[in-house]
């Protein structure tokens, strides 16, 4: 292997996904995606409804079995690994703020679970360790939401924004090789969404995380990350990085979309955000 290859954190090779394959309802959701993320890449993925964004993310996370193609994380082929197995390499934040945390468990219990991601969990030592509490408090304090004093509160009692911020902490607590963000601010109000997005950027920068972020929000897609990918009908139609991306505007993106898909961006969620 050459030196440049070892820098590749995520490598997707000729990935195809079909739904209801072989029936009249067959939907060829991903049509031969090739995508490589280098260490430290922060890639935002946009595209209309049905473009294949979620299918792509679910394939990488393992919640959707791969039809053809290969997925490598840190040079390891994870194509056929279960979700819980590849969780060792992946930190994930879901769109629904309720999805990333266990509501009946306390804040510290949730964080303690995340702290052992990808490791054997024994049945003799305490789940929440005293020395970990200090770490949790420090990390929670960085959120600026006052959660550092609520370690023993049930997570279910917190607001969506607070839960999403904690999920983000949990996903990054163990420095994942790859961070997957699945429209993780879409269900939040604009103010909270901005806070969580800022926090995301800060964590990704601090920990040099390689990140794949799906978003509906064009402004966020332009503002954050060093690379932007547009999906349309299962194909990558736009891939911009570096200087070109920095100069990008929302109207550029809309033009690009029109040029590549032959139709106007008709997704309200995209236009309004």
Partner 1 sequence: MDIVVSSISLGILWSVMAIGVYLTFRILDIADMTAEGSFPLGAAITAHQIVNGTNPIVATLLGFLGGCAAGFVSGFLHTKLKIPALLTGILTLTGLYSVNLFVMGKANVSLIGDVKTVLTLMPISDQTIAAIVIGTIVLVVVIALLVFFFNTEMGLAARAVGDNEQMSLANGISTDNMKMVVYMISNGLIALSGSLMTQINGYADSSMGIGTLVIALAAIIIAEVIIHNVSFGVRLITIVGGAIIYRFIIAIVLWLGVDPNSLRLFYSLMLALFLSLPLLRQLIKQRERRHQNRLANLDREEEQTND
Give, for 261, the enclosing helix (H) or strand (E). Answer: helix 250-261
Cβ(174)–Cβ(113) below 8 Å: no
97 binds partner 1 (CB under 8 A): no
150 binds partner 1 (CB under 8 A): no
Nearer to partner 1 by C-beta: 8 or 108? 108
| Least distance (Å) between residue 174 CB and partner 1 | 9
Residue among 99, 207, 237, 250 that touches partner 1 (CB under 8 A): 99
Nearer to partner 1 by C-beta: 67 or 96? 96
Residue 197: count other Cβ atoms within 10 Å of its Cβ.
21
Sign of CA dihedral 19, 21, 25, 31: positive
Q: Which stretch binds partner 1 (CB under 8 A): 11-19, 27-35, 43-51, 78-86?
A: 78-86
Nearer to partner 1 by C-beta: 114 or 145? 114
C-alpha distances out from residue 132 to 45, 136, 230, Å: 35, 6, 40
| Least distance (Å) between residue 177 CB and partner 1 | 13
Nearer to partner 1 by C-beta: 185 or 261? 185
Token pair for residue 55? 């299918």
126 binds partner 1 (CB under 8 A): yes
Sign of CA dihedral 66, 72, 77, 83: negative
Cβ(169)–Cβ(161) below 8 Å: no
Sign of CA dihedral 215, 218, 219, 222: positive
| Distant-in-sequence, close-in-space partners of 252: CB < 8 Å, separation ≥ 6 | none
Q: Which stretch binds partner 1 (CB under 8 A): 71-79, 95-103, 193-201, 241-249?
A: 95-103
Nearer to partner 1 by C-beta: 43 or 171? 171
Residues near partner 1 (CB under 8 A) are 61, 63, 83-85, 87-88, 90, 92, 94, 98-105, 109-110, 112-114, 116-119, 121-128, 170-171
């Amino acid at each position: 292997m050459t030196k440049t290859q070892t820098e590749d954190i995520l490598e997707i090779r000729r990935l195809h996904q079909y739904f209801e394959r072989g029936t009249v309802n067959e939907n060829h959701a991903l049509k031969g995606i090739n995508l490589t993320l280098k260490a430290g890449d922060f890639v935002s993925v946009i595209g209309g409804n049905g473009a294949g964004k979620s299918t792509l993310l679910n394939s990488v996370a393992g919640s959707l079995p791969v039809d053809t193609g290969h997925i490598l994380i840190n040079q390891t082929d994870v194509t056929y690994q279960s979700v819980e197995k590849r969780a060792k390499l992946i930190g994930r934040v879901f769109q629904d703020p309720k999805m990333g945390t266990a509501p009946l468990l306390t804040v510290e219990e949730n964080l303690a679970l995340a702290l052992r991601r990808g490791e054997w969990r024994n049945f003799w030592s305490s789940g929440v360790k005293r020395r970990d509490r200090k770490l949790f408090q420090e990390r929670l304090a960085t959120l600026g939401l006052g959660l550092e004093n609520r370690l023993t509160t049930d997570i279910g009692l917190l607001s969506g924004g607070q839960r999403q911020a904690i999920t983000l902490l949990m996903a990054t607590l163990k420095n994942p090789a790859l961070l997957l963000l699945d429209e993780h601010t879409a269900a939040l109000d604009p103010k909270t969404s901005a806070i969580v997005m800022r926090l995301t950027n800060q964590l990704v920068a601090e920990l040099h995380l390689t990140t794949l972020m799906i978003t509906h929000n064009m402004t966020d897609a332009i503002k954050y990350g060093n690379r932007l990918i547009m999906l349309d009908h299962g194909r990558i139609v736009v891939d911009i990085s570096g200087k070109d991306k920095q100069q990008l505007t929302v109207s550029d993106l809309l033009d690009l979309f029109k040029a590549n898909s032959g139709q106007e961006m008709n997704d309200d969620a995209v236009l309004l955000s």
